[in-house]
Amino acid sequence: MALSQSGSTRDHWSSRSAFILAAIGSAVGLGNLWRFPAEAGANGGGAFVLFYIGCVVLIGLPILLSETLIGRHGQASAPESVRRVASASRASPHWDILASMGVLAAFLILSFYCVVGGWVLYYIGVFFVDIFNSGISGGAFTDQSAEQIESLFPTMIGSAGWTVGLDALFLGITLYFVARGVSGGIEFVAKWLMPAFFVLLILITVYGAFGGAFNQTLEYLFTFEPEKLTGPIMLAALGQAFFSLSLGVAGMITYGSYVGRNVNLASTSALISGADTAVALIAGLCIFPIVFSAGLSVSAGPGLMFQTLPHAFQEMPFGSVVGLAFFVMVGFAALTSSVALLEVPVAWMIDKFRVVRVFSAIIVGFGALVLGALAALSFNVLSDWHPLDFIPIFEGQGFFDVLDGLTAKFFMPIGAILTALFIGWVADRKLVDIENGLGGALHLTWLALVRFVCPIALAAILVVGLLPEEE
Ligand code: PHE
């Protein structure tokens, strides 16, 4: 524990590297491994991917630095941190809306995120059982047809019992670590799981690179066809960049609030966004060759990762062991992110109601279970329920997709616009200069991005993304 500016004892990361690992742990998750390939596939590949990378560099990175800066200065839960920066800048405390919206968004994301985390647990179980059935030396799923393997996913999400039960299990594991606190729980998960994750990811990708269809993947992911870049695709790419970097939901404000004064926030933010983007691209390079060589559809949506990968493991020697390792790795990455998502509302509740951490975690966890169950059921018994049918971009979507779209396409960009305006135009310049750790030309570039590029580009992408498409 370290002493915060306000004089109270507040748990902190034990070191700079602990913060870096936790923040990378928050950023790298299902967003990179599951959502990025699915979104890239659904939105036409190359144009999406290159626009996404542009969003990360020109919008994501400056906002990431702005968020961590607010948190480190504030040393409190996200809304309180914003109020402290506002008060030091003689600005209105109502700017805290940017963080309050974020707390709500983090809670909504947590709810559907744990549903997908549950699917990952299911596949860990599938490969585990397969090791018993087929042994370890051959491929996975001996004697099963391609249809049988692919039907695993629809069968599982079609069952109310499985989807809700697994959601609850994943949420329960998340809750356990958050209840243990920052240095004891969250840091522990990140320190052990993130390095293990990187080793496994590299191994599996190198393995996959020899499996053919690699060139086709490169072409698919990196050929820029500007005419394909429509408004909705731009908004989807922007939403993906925010989702993946954990931005616009007060997550990085919260994690920044546990950072000590000795950490350079600018270089750390660059490292976090670099690592996150690299993992997303590697995930693409890992998954698409399999999609292509198995002749599957790139636009399979949420099932993409779950339906394609088992194919690859069928043919690989030691397939069931590698498959198990892969899904354990995805589970690790998901857990370090779900922990971050739960921490945001939990930290807020501790500050606001002066309750103990465990109590706060249980209450938030219960809320997320209720919403999560509704999201899980939208794949089976509630599949006909389309709550936002009256809004064109949500037409025909179930509760799970609505939660996902609402957070990535509204909450995150709007939270980011407010953050950019607050840090670029409202916050005290001296405070910002001291916190950001940038000098000279880099500082000016960052300021120009936060002041002009971020708000204008975000507003523009939101507008073109939401305009009805011309036929
Ligand atoms: N960035 C995480 C992922 O890519 C998801 C996340 C979003 C985590 C927002 C925390 C806050 O999986």
- Ligand 1 contacts CB of residue 251 (under 6 A): yes
Within 13 Å of residue 263, how many CA atoms lie on the same side as its CB?
A: 27
Q: Is 30 in the pocket of ligand 1 (CB under 6 A)?
A: yes
* Mean pLDDT confidence for 2-21: 66
- Whether 1 shows a pLDDT value over 50: the answer reads no
* Per-residue model confidence (pLDDT) at position 14: 83
Ligand 1 centroid–CA 63 distance in Å is 15
| pLDDT tens-digit map of 59-91 | 999 999 999 999 999 999 999 999 999 999 999
Q: What mean pLDDT do residues 394-419 have? A: 93
Percent over 90 (pLDDT), the chain: 57
Output the CA torsion sign for 421, 427, 429, 434.
negative
Q: Is the pLDDT of residue 294 over 80?
A: no
CA of 316 to the centre of ligand 1 (A): 31
Q: Structurally, what CATH architecture does the domain formed by 2-466 represent?
A: Up-down Bundle (1.20)
CB-based contacts of 429, cutoff 8 Å, min separation 6 = none
Q: Helix 304-315 vs helix 265-293: angle between axes, to the nearest 10 degrees?
A: 60
Distance 305 CA to ligand 1 centre (A): 17
pLDDT 10s digits, 134-192: 777 777 888 888 888 888 999 999 999 999 999 999 999 999 999 988 777 778 877 88
d(CA 297, CA 290): 11
Pocket test for ligand 1, best of 24, 26, 305 (most atoms within 8 A of CB): 26
* 366-76-56 Cα angle (round to 5): 85
Note the pTM of the prediction, 2 decimals: 0.92
Residues with Cβ within 8 Å of 43's Cβ and at least 6 positions away in sequence, in order, are 233, 236, 237
Q: ipTM above 0.85?
A: yes
Q: pLDDT averaged over the chain?
A: 89
Cα–Cα–Cα angle for 464, 468, 471, rounded to 5 degrees: 115
| pLDDT exceeds cutoff 80 at 11 | no
pLDDT value at position 3?
A: 34
Q: Is 26 in the pocket of ligand 1 (CB under 6 A)?
A: yes
Q: Which whole number is the average pLDDT over 444-456?
A: 95
Whether 414 shows a pLDDT value over 90: the answer reads yes
280 pLDDT higher than 90? yes
240 C-beta closer than 6 A to ligand 1 = no
